[in-house]
């Protein structure tokens, strides 16, 4: 706990995409403080335009609003630290980190997956739930050209812009269809996300910047964090869980920086070499 190997410097980090997510863990309960064993870990990482992944931090026992304020204080300037916030749409993430970015993109994978739960709340039959999910996935399927932005013809860019308008009209029709059938939870779910589902296309059309539309990168990292916190140990303190998560984040996103830290820490200079010549059994 006293090691500083988990230290993450965010004072000068600016990213194109900011990703945020959370997961539960079994924390150490404290009856005196009114804490049960249901802990919540929150994580943020960034992606630069060249594809480099950078760590931002991990927290436990803090709201997203408190986390956003902390990141802002560490950065030390009023400009956004990122162009795009990519998340699963959790309300606290959107509100707490909004001042750190210019726009928000809802994760398409979560959008389709979670529609099934909201329409289940509306007591829709299984087959209808699947059909609505498939329809939403089809609406969201807008592919961007793989070639360089400057090489894409203007008429092709115009066609993509038209595709977005068409998709938004289809979303409006889907919302009306859901509402007419009495699936109000599902209708509101799609309605609240509508304006944040094609931000990645708008960003590409305006700036030529490619950004992901699914949070698979942070999901993979969260699985590794969950494996360490949930399957290999339990009864974490808030501070201990956040520290372990920062270690995993640092190793996941900055392997070279992690190795450099330990080389300096244990003073590896390369002056000593050990050669294994053989193993002898008695």
Counting beta carbons within 10 angstroms of the beta carbon of residue 86, is it exposed (0 to 12), middle (13 to 18) or buried (19 or more)? Answer: buried
Whether residue 74 has pLDDT greater than 90: no
Q: How many residues does the chain have?
A: 282
Strands of 101-106's sheet in order across: 53-60, 38-47, 15-26, 82-87, 101-106
- Find out whether 86 and 17 touch, Cβ atoms under 8 Å: yes
Q: Please, which residues have CB within 8 angstroms of residue 34's CB and are 6 or more apart in sequence?
A: none
What is the pLDDT confidence band of residue 108, given thresholds at 50, 70 and 90?
Answer: very high
State the pLDDT at residue 237.
87
State the pLDDT at residue 11.
56
Whether residue 9 has pLDDT greater than 70: yes
Q: Which residue has the tokens 């942070």?
A: 218
In this prediction, residues 71-77 reach a mean pLDDT of: 80
State the pLDDT at residue 5.
83
In this prediction, residues 75-88 reach a mean pLDDT of: 83
State the pLDDT at residue 42.
93
**Secondary structure class of 130 (helix, strand, coil):** helix
State the pLDDT at residue 12.
57
Radius of gyration of the chain (CA): 23
What is the pLDDT confidence band of residue 35, given thresholds at 50, 70 and 90?
Answer: confident
In this prediction, residues 197-211 reach a mean pLDDT of: 88
Q: Which residue has the tokens 């140990």?
A: 233
- Residues above pLDDT 90, as percent of the chain: 38
In this prediction, residues 53-67 reach a mean pLDDT of: 91
DSSP letter for 266, please.
Answer: T
Whether residue 271 has pLDDT greater than 80: no
Whether residue 199 has pLDDT greater than 90: yes
Whether residue 172 has pLDDT greater than 90: yes
Whether residue 36 has pLDDT greater than 70: yes
pTM of the model: 0.80
> H or E segment at 119?
helix 108-121
Query: Strand pairing of 15-26 and 82-87?
Result: parallel
In this prediction, residues 265-270 reach a mean pLDDT of: 75
- Find out whether 136 and 190 touch, Cβ atoms under 8 Å: yes
Q: Please, which residues have CB within 8 angstroms of residue 83's CB and are 6 or more apart in sequence?
A: 15, 16, 17, 101, 102, 103, 203, 209, 211
In this prediction, residues 256-277 reach a mean pLDDT of: 80
């Amino acid at each position: 706990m006293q090691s500083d190997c988990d230290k993450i410097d965010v004072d000068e980090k600016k990213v194109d995409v900011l990703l945020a997510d959370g997961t539960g863990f079994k924390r150490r309960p404290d009856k005196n403080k009114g804490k049960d064993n249901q802990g919540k870990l929150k994580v943020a990482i960034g992606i630069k335009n060249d594809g480099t992944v950078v760590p931002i931090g991990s927290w436990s026992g803090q709201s997203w609003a408190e986390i956003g304020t902390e990141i802002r204080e560490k950065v030390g300037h009023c400009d956004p630290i990122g162009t795009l916030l990519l998340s699963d749409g959790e309300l606290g993430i959107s509100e707490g980190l909004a001042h750190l970015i210019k726009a928000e993109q809802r994760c398409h994978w979560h959008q389709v997956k979670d529609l099934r739960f909201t329409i289940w709340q509306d007591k829709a039959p299984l087959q209808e739930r699947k059909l609505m999910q498939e329809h939403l996935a089809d609406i969201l399927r807008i592919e961007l050209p793989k070639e360089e932005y400057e090489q894409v013809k203007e008429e092709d860019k115009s066609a993509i812009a038209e595709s977005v308008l068409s998709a938004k009209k289809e979303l409006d029709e889907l919302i009306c269809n859901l509402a007419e059938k009495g699936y109000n939870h599902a209708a509101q779910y799609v309605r609240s996300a509508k304006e944040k589902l094609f931000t990645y296309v708008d960003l590409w059309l305006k700036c030529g910047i490619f950004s992901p539309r699914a949070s698979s990168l942070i999901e993979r990292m969260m699985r590794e964090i969950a494996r360490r916190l949930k399957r290999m140990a339990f009864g974490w303190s808030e501070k201990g869980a956040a520290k372990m998560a920062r270690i995993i984040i640092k190793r996941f996103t900055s392997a070279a920086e992690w190795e450099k830290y330990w080389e300096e820490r244990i003073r590896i200079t390369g002056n000593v070499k050990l050669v294994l010549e053989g193993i002898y059994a008695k």
